[in-house]
Chain A
Amino acid sequence: MSIVEACGLGKRFGRTWALRDCTMAIPGGHVVALVGPNGAGKTTLLNLAAGLLSPTEGSLVVLGSERPGSGPARNRIGFVAQDAPLYGYLPVGDMLRVAQNLNLTWDDAKARAQLARLGIPLDRTVRHLSGGQRAQLALTIAVAKRPELLILDEPLAALDPLARHNLLSSLMATVAEDGLSVIFSSHVVSELERIADYLVVLNEGQLQVAGQVDHLLARHKTWSGPSGEVPADLQQTAVIYARRAGAQAHLLVRTSGPEHPVPEGWQSHPASLEDLVLGYLRDPAAQMLPGPATATPAGGSAATK
Chain B
Amino acid sequence: MTATAEPAISGTPAGKSVPWRRLTWVAWRQHRGTLTVSAILIALLAIFMALTGVVLHRAGNNIDIVGPNSQWPLYDVSNTTLQLVLPLIPAMAGLFLGAPLTAREFETGSARFTWVQGAGRTRWLATTVVPAVVLLAVIAVGLGLEYRWWEPFGHGIGGQDRWIQTGLFGLNPLPFVGWIVLGFSLGVFFGAAIRRTVAAMAATFASYVLLMFEVAANWRPFYLPPLHRAGAQPQFTANGYGYSVYWGAHYGPSPDVLSTALGWPGGRLLTGRQLNHTPAWFRMHHIQIWLTYQPGGRFLLFEYIELGWLVVLSAILISATFILIRRRAA
Interface residues of A (CB under 8 A from B): 47, 50-54, 69, 71-72, 74-77, 79, 81, 83, 85-90, 93-94, 96-110, 112-113, 122, 138, 145-146
Contacts and interface: CB of A to CB of B under 8 A. Distances in A.
Contacts of A89: 33
Contact of B8 (A85, A87, A97, A106): A106
A102 to B, nearest CB: 4
Contacts of B17: 71, 104
A75 B118 contact: yes
B12 A75 contact: yes
Contact of A106 (B6, B16, B33, B109): B6
Interface residues of B, number: 40
Nearest to A101: B22
Contacts of B4: 96-97, 100, 108
A89 B117 CA distance: 19
Contact of B26 (A76, A102, A104, A112): A102
B130 interface: no
A117 to B, nearest CB: 13
Nearest to B326: A69
Residue with the highest number of chain A CB atoms closer than 10 Å, among B14, B26, B112: B112
Interface of B: 1-2, 4-14, 16-18, 22-23, 25-26, 29-30, 33, 108-120, 124, 327, 329-330
A103 B16 CA distance: 11
Given A97-B4, A98-B29, A71 B117 contact: no
B108 A101 contact: no
B118 A145 contact: yes
A107 B4 CA distance: 11
Given A104-B9, A104-B16, A146-B11, A98 B30 contact: yes
Q: What 8 A-B pairs come out closest when comparing CB atoms?
A: A85-B109, A102-B117, A81-B112, A101-B22, A103-B118, A79-B116, A75-B12, A75-B118
Contacts of B25: 101
A296 B8 CA distance: 48
Nearest to B24: A101
Contacts of B120: 69, 71, 74
A74 B118 contact: yes
Contact of B116 (A51, A90, A101, A122): A51
Contacts of A96: 4
Contacts of B12: 72, 75-76, 104-105, 146
A107 B6 CA distance: 10
Contacts of B22: 101-102
A104 B111 CA distance: 18
A99 B117 contact: yes
A93 B3 CA distance: 11
Nearest to A104: B118
Nearest to B16: A104
Given A52-B115, A75-B12, A83-B109, A90 B1 contact: no
A105 B5 contact: no
Contact of B2 (A83, A99, A103, A122): A122
A143 to B, nearest CB: 13
A166 B168 CA distance: 63
Contacts of A100: 4-6
Contacts of B33: 89
Given A71-B17, A72-B14, A103-B119, 17 more contacts: A71-B118, A77-B116, A79-B112, A85-B109, A85-B110, A85-B111, A85-B113, A86-B110, A87-B110, A94-B29, A98-B30, A102-B119, A105-B9, A106-B8, A108-B4, A110-B8, A146-B11
A218 B117 CA distance: 39
Contact of A102 (B11, B124, B329, B330): B124
A59 B28 CA distance: 38
Given A72-B14, A102-B18, A97 B5 contact: yes
A97 to B, nearest CB: 5
Contacts of B124: 102
